Amino acid sequence: MTEQASFPLIDDLAPKFTAQTSHGVINFPEDYEGKWVILFSHPADFTPVCTTEFVAFAKRFDQFQNLNTELLGLSIDQVFSHIKWKDWIKDNLDVEIPFPIIADHGDVAKKYGMIHSGGSNTVRAVFVIDPKSKIRSIIYYPASLGRNFDELERIIKALQYSDEHKVAMPADWPNNTSLGLKDRVIIPPASDVKAAKERLALAEKDPDVECYDWWLCHKKA
């Protein structure tokens, strides 16, 4: 019988680990206290799709830093392989990889469910972890499909905005057009009759708030 991968779920605390990386030993999440983290795995060093992804991550590194977000890569490769691959990318593509890559022996990957279908390599997994070490988003990609980096940046921005303003984000935020909600955010639905009536009353008083009904209200971002 094939062993099934297990993994933490959204809103779980991120599993702790100590690991060797291309930047030295890290203790997670202690070393990233107060930071958002994108922890991501790739199948292997010196592979074409993974190389394009690492270049894309490197080119957005400053944007993620400006969002108080650290990048942390992982694969089941030795640290020497990570170092040589980073050197190859620098020498051949003129891109410096500025973030650490975990040299995993499988322990971290198993904790996060990054190995699927009885394989030995990690899949393309993404875990977005907030400053309280809580997992906020999980994405898996097949080996043949590279990640969408506009989406990864959007997830960070959306979660941070949602946390700060206690709102939800419509489809394709901030460019939603399906209900004419471009540059608008969703007010969380009321959970009881009293709150529902108050919600509709708020829409009558506040010009920034509009409601299709008591359960679907939105306002300017």
Q: What tens digit of pLDDT does each residue of 116-138 get?
A: 877 788 999 999 999 999 999 99
Assess whether pLDDT exceeds 70 at residue 2: no
Assess whether pLDDT exceeds 80 at residue 1: no
Chain region(s) in the chain for CATH 3.40.30.10: 17-147
The percent of residues above 90 in pLDDT, for the chain, comes to 73
* Rama region for 73: left / alpha / beta (φ>0; ψ in -120 to 50; rest): beta
Chain region(s) in the chain for CATH 3.30.1020.10: 166-221
Cα 106 from Cα 114, distance rounded (Å): 9
Residue 4: the pLDDT is 52
Residue 214: the pLDDT is 86
Quote the Cα angle for 60-102-65, to 5°.
Answer: 25
Per the prediction, the chain carries an average pLDDT of 93
Query: Among 4-13, 54-63, 152-161, 164-173, whose mean pLDDT is lowest?
Result: 4-13
Q: What is the mean pLDDT of residues 145-162?
A: 97
Written out in words, the top-level CATH class of the domain with range 17-147 is alpha beta
- Would you call 59 exposed, middle or buried from its count of C-beta atoms within 10 A (0-12, 13-18, 19+)? exposed
- Would you call 5 exposed, middle or buried from its count of C-beta atoms within 10 A (0-12, 13-18, 19+)? middle
220 pLDDT tier (thresholds 50, 70, 90):
confident
Known catalytic residues? 50
Assess whether pLDDT exceeds 50 at residue 104: yes
Residue 5: the pLDDT is 56
Q: What is the mean pLDDT of residues 82-105?
A: 98
* Region 166-221: CATH code: 3.30.1020.10
Residue 104, CA distances (Å) to 18, 79, 109, 134 in order: 10, 8, 7, 22
What's this model's pTM, rounded to 2 decimal places?
Answer: 0.92
The percent of residues above 70 in pLDDT, for the chain, comes to 98
Residue 178: the pLDDT is 79
